[in-house]
């Protein structure tokens, strides 16, 4: 059976009336069109298309999608109903429209149920219930959720389970009616009474069904279409069939059928045909005709369900494929990150190993230095730092100083290197020449020929050698800041000291100190 649309429409009127809802973001033209009452599915669809055509903002567009979802639901085109329902829900979520989200999830749940997608149906029903709980003091929404639940049970032919829920719905509407009288409440009560009568009949409780019909007939002044007179005709047909009044039963079945055909309500038409065949009120010829109609109707329903399921399957496959693509993208990204991480670790370890080996070499050379007495016995590091390395061919070609004077100056330089005068800030070539008692020309010549260095490089080498030996021989100095070592060596800036230290040793000052700590040389 498909009672959900009419019942929901009246409860929705009840809700809007109680709240006196107005939406300032809707233009008057859209508002008038949206709240305009229309009857048939085609009229509702036409209204939704017109709303979309005139819409100028997301709120108005969402109303168009919502109306189309309702129209296609009433037309039993559940795949389209779900399609537009999703679009509406997306906009309602964006606009933070809780009540509208309740309604569209309500309709999507009903559409999924009719399409045979039970899990999806109950999922949307739970979402609707959750939204209803978030909206305070709105009994109409909770009543609507209960009505949808009875619809699901009816479609599953669990009519007896419907009875206590239907009674609870009637109690809640009556309670609300006492506080807020609306004619729409009477419409909702009439529909619930006649629906409850049908549940009782399908559970073989004839007396209770008759009582509910009596309650329903109290609302006979209401418009027949509003109070679901088609359900009433089915109830009267079944009551007469149970009481063996076959002619009366056929008459009421025909009346119900006419309304279902007029409304193009395939589900209710199928239900009517099924009940008519069940109670065997027709002759053989009519029964054969009804059987043929019944199977045609079932095929039509199955076609609609297959279409909705196919659309849902395509959507799910699309989501799955998208997730797979994302999965592979993330796997690829993770793989690249892992490769880069491993490469970084490898290079870092290789660099650390290189630093360690360089550090150990420096320490060994310092230790050897302690046992060396003359310049000729110096190790490889001392040659690099302070041992004259002359090119005989070069000396012979560019000799500018006598052998005696050269020997004298080399001895003075050897003594100079044993001191710390070179640690003075802004130590110049002129200062050096003054200390050695010679001119700058001779010093430049000797540094180039024997050390293959400029004056500034030579002094920087001495400064770094001094700091390395100081760190090694003074354990407490490893605790000092690098800026202290910079001052101690006579460098003008922290950055210049770090640059020269790294160039001379192949290790930064901080790495050299951390290695000293690591090996426990000076803790």
Mean pLDDT of the region 59-69: 92
Element (H, E) at 472: helix 455-473
Rounded to an integer, what is the distance from CA 339 to the centroid of its chain? 27
Q: Is the whole model's pTM more than 0.75, yes or no?
A: no
Which has the higher per-residue pLDDT, 23 or 265? 265
Which region among 133-137, 140-144, 480-484, 486-490 has the lowest average model confidence (pLDDT)?
A: 133-137
Residue 315 has pLDDT above 90, yes or no: no
pLDDT-derived band of residue 196, with 50, 70 and 90 as boundaries?
A: very high
Minimal CA–CA distance to 271: which of 3, 501, 466, 478?
3
Q: What is the pLDDT of residues 15-53, one digit of tens each?
A: 444 444 456 678 889 988 998 888 888 999 999 999 999
The candidate with the shortest Cα–Cα distance to 449, out of 412, 378, 399, is: 399
Asked whether 300 and 267 are in contact (CB, 8 A), the reply is: no
pLDDT of 381 > 50? The answer is no
Q: For the structural domain made of 375-518, what CATH number should be given? A: 1.10.10.60
Confidence band of 362 (pLDDT split at 50, 70, 90): confident
Higher pLDDT, residue 402 or 311: 402
Say what the pLDDT of residue 352 is.
Answer: 77
Contacts of 28 (CB under 8 A, 6+ apart): none
DSSP 270-284: HHHHHHHHHTT-S-H
pLDDT number for residue 17: 41
- Which residues, 6 or more positions from 183, have their beta carbon under 8 angstroms from its beta carbon? 222
| pLDDT at residue 269 tops 70 | yes
pLDDT of 440 strictly over 70:
yes
Q: Is the pLDDT of residue 336 over 60?
A: yes
Q: What is the pLDDT of residue 480?
A: 78
What pLDDT does residue 204 have? 93
Q: Which residue has the higher pLDDT, 497 or 387?
A: 497
Q: Are 83 and 95 in contact (CB under 8 A)?
A: no
pLDDT for 91:
92
Q: What is the pLDDT of residue 384?
A: 41
**Of 286 and 8, which is predicted with more confidence?**
286
Residue-level pLDDT at 202: 94
Q: What is the pLDDT of residue 374?
A: 41
Question: Is the confidence at residue 106, as pLDDT, over 60?
Answer: yes
Confidence of residue 7 (pLDDT cuts 50, 70, 90): very low
Average pLDDT over residues 218-234: 86
- The CATH classification number of 1-156 equals 1.25.40.10
Where does residue 197 rank: exposed (0-12), middle (13-18), buried (19+ CB within 10 A)? buried
pLDDT at 380: 41
Choice among 148-152, 226-230, 317-321, 453-457 with the minimum mean pLDDT:
317-321
Q: Which residues contact 523 (CB under 8 A, 6 or more apart)?
A: 475, 517
**Average pLDDT of the residues of the chain:** 81
Determine contact, residues 449/394, Cβ cutoff 8 Å. yes
- pLDDT exceeds cutoff 70 at 308: no
- For residue 211, the model assigns a pLDDT of 95
The better pLDDT of the pair 323, 72 is held by 72
pLDDT for res 312: 55
Percent of the chain topping pLDDT 70: 82
């Amino acid at each position: 059976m498909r009672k959900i649309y009419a019942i929901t429409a009246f409860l929705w009127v009840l809700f809007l009336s109680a709240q006196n809802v107005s939406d300032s973001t809707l233009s008057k033209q859209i508002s008038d069109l949206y709240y305009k009452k229309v009857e048939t599915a085609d009229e509702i669809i036409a209204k939704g298309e017109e709303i979309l055509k005139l819409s100028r903002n997301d709120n108005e567009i969402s109303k168009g999608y919502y109306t189309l979802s309702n129209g296609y639901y009433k037309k039993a085109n559940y795949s389209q109903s779900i399609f537009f329902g999703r679009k509406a829900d997306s906009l309602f979520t964006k606009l933070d429209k809780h009540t509208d989200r309740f309604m569209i999830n309500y309709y999507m749940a009903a559409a999924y149920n009719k399409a045979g997608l039970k899990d999806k149906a109950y999922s949307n029903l739970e979402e609707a219930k959750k939204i209803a709980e978030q909206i305070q003091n709105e009994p109409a929404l909770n009543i609507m959720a209960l009505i949808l639940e009875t619809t699901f049970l009816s479609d599953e032919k669990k009519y007896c389970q419907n009875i206590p829920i239907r009674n609870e719905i009637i109690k809640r509407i009556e309670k609300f009616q006492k506080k807020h009288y609306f004619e729409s409440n009477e419409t909702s009560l009439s529909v619930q009474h006649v629906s409850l009568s049908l549940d009782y009949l399908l559970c073989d409780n004839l007396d209770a069904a008759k009582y509910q019909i009596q309650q329903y007939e109290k609302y006979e002044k209401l418009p027949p279409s509003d109070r679901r007179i088609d359900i009433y005709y089915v109830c009267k047909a079944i009551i007469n069939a149970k009481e063996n009044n076959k002619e009366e039963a056929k008459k009421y079945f025909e009346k119900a059928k006419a309304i279902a055909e007029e409304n193009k309500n395939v589900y209710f038409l199928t239900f009517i045909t099924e009940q008519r065949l069940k109670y065997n009120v027709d002759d053989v010829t009519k029964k054969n005709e009804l059987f043929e109609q019944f199977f045609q109707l079932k095929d039509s329903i199955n076609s609609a369900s297959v279409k909705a399921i196919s659309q849902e399957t395509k959507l799910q496959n699309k989501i799955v494929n998208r997730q797979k693509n994302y999965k592979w993208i993330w796997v690829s990204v993770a793989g690249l990150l892992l490769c880069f991480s491993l490469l970084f670790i490898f290079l870092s370890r290789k660099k650390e190993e290189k630093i360690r080996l360089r550090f150990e070499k420096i320490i060994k050379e310092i230790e050897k230095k302690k046992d060396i007495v003359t310049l000729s016995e110096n190790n490889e590091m001392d040659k690099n730092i302070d041992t004259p390395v002359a090119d005989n061919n070069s000396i012979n070609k560019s000799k500018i100083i006598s052998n005696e004077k050269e020997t004298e100056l080399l001895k003075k330089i050897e003594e100079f290197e044993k001191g710390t005068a070179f640690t003075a800030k802004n130590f110049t070539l002129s200062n050096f020449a003054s200390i050695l008692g010679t001119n700058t020309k001779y010093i430049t010549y000797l540094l180039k020929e024997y050390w293959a260095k400029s004056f500034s490089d030579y002094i920087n080498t001495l400064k770094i050698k001094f700091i390395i030996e100081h760190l090694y021989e003074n354990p407490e100095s490893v605790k000092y800041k690098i800026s202290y070592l910079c001052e101690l060596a006579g460098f003008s800036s922290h950055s210049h000291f770090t640059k020269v230290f790294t160039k001379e040793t192949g290790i930064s000052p901080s790495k050299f100190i951390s290695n000293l700590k690591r090996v426990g040389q000076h803790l």
